[in-house]
Structure 1
């Protein structure tokens, strides 16, 4: 059984990869990562700060200092995918011949040719409540719209963007004393646990129960500087950053105990 794990090469992708490596250790795993930086991430000050902390510091600096990571292939060994073109990233991913793909915080859209080529399907972890929060930066928009409970939806990937059948939803109560980064980490932690169970079912030849998404919904893009200025909580705090780093870099047994206590 081959399972491809597709994440973003940042702190939340590291946390997702750690959980999946632990839960899916029965299979042959290969880790792929998106490394794309969108223009908005350099133009909007708040997005530049998030890139600095989530990627430049967490991965390019701190992870680079670690010679190994117990229970997880080092991020430097993950296969980078720059695109999903037929002769590019899609070919690299499919050369592994995955039976199942699980995507969490992955920045690229899977084209139909890739979806059709994965026998048991692609499971995606989307950090927003669907169908109301499709698209980019769903944790931000859920907070900005005043949701008292944020959702992270696990769904099968189909032809649309964040439109496939729902396998489960992880929910995180909004806490005004915590930062956007903290909420984002909690959303991914809960969603990835659901995804791991769904992928294990698919790997055994089963079919996890799915529910078609209702009609309607909304699609969001990157927030602007003005959107960030109106956000009712900080992007990050020292306390929250230290906590998220601790979870992402924790050894498997410690990380599991932290998730159980959350």
Structure 2
């Protein structure tokens, strides 16, 4: 059984990879990472700060000083995917011949040819409650819009964007004393745990129960500087950053990431 893990090369991607490596040890895993960046990440000061903390410090600096973890390749050994072109990233991913793909915080859209080539399907971890929060930066928009409980939806990938059948939802109550980073990490912890369970079911030859998404919904893009100014909580707090770093670099055998609340 071959499972491809597709993440972003940042602190939340490392957290997701660590949870999946701990829970899917029965399979041959290969770790791929998107390296796509968008202009907004340089133009909006808050996004520059997030990139600094989540990638430059956490991955390019701290991860480089960590010893190898058995069962989890070092981040500089993850296979970079720059695109999903047939002769580019798609070919690189499919050369592994994965039976299952798990996508968590992955920045690229899977084209139909890739979806069709993965026999048991692609499971996506989307850090927003679907269908209401499709697209980019879902944790941010849920907080900005005053949700008292944030959702992370795990779904099968189909030809749409964040539209496939829902396998489960992890929920994190909004906490005004914590930061956006803390909420985002909590959403991924819960969602990735659900994805690991779904992948285990698929690996056994069964199909996890999925629920079609209701009609409607909304699609969001990157927030602007004005949007960040209206956010009721800080982007990060020191204690939250320390906690997320600790979780991301935790030994595999110490993994205890359980959704705070799960709904089918």
Q: Structure 1-normalised TM-score? A: 0.98
Q: Which residue number in structure 2 is paired with residue 95 of structure 1?
A: 95
Partner of 2:132: 132
Kindly state the Cα deviation for residue 10 of structure 1 after the two structures are TM-superposed. 0.2
Correspondence 1:76 to 2:113 = no
- How has the CA–CA distance of structure 1 residues 152 and 261 changed in structure 2, closer, same or farther, with 3 Å as cutoff? closer
| Distance change (3 Å), C-alpha of 1:200 and 1:169 | same
CA distance in 1, matches of 2:249, 2:100: 26
Aligned residues of 2:191 and 2:259 also touching (Cα < 8 A): no
1:71·1:251 contact (CA, 8 Å) conserved in 2? no
Comparing 82-91 with 33-42, which one deviates more in the overlay?
33-42
Q: Which residue of 2 aligns with 1:200?
A: 200
Contact 1:42 1:48 in 2 (8 A): yes
Residue 173 (structure 1) aligns with: 173
- What is the CA RMSD across the aligned residues, in angstroms? 1.0
Unmatched tracts of structure 2, length 5 or more: none
Whole-angstrom distance in 2 between the partners of 1:242 and 1:37: 25
Name 1:182's counterpart in structure 2. 182
* Residues 189, 258 of structure 2: 8 Å contact kept: no
Distance 1:101 1:260, change over 3 A: closer
In the alignment, is the contact (CA less than 8 A) between 2:201 and 2:207 conserved in 1? Answer: yes
Pair 1:105–1:261, CA change in 2 (3 A): closer
2:111 counterpart of 1:111: yes
Distance 1:64 1:255 in 2: 21
* Unpaired runs of at least 5, structure 1: none
TM-score under structure 2 normalisation? 0.97
Q: Report how many aligned residue pairs link the two structures.
A: 260
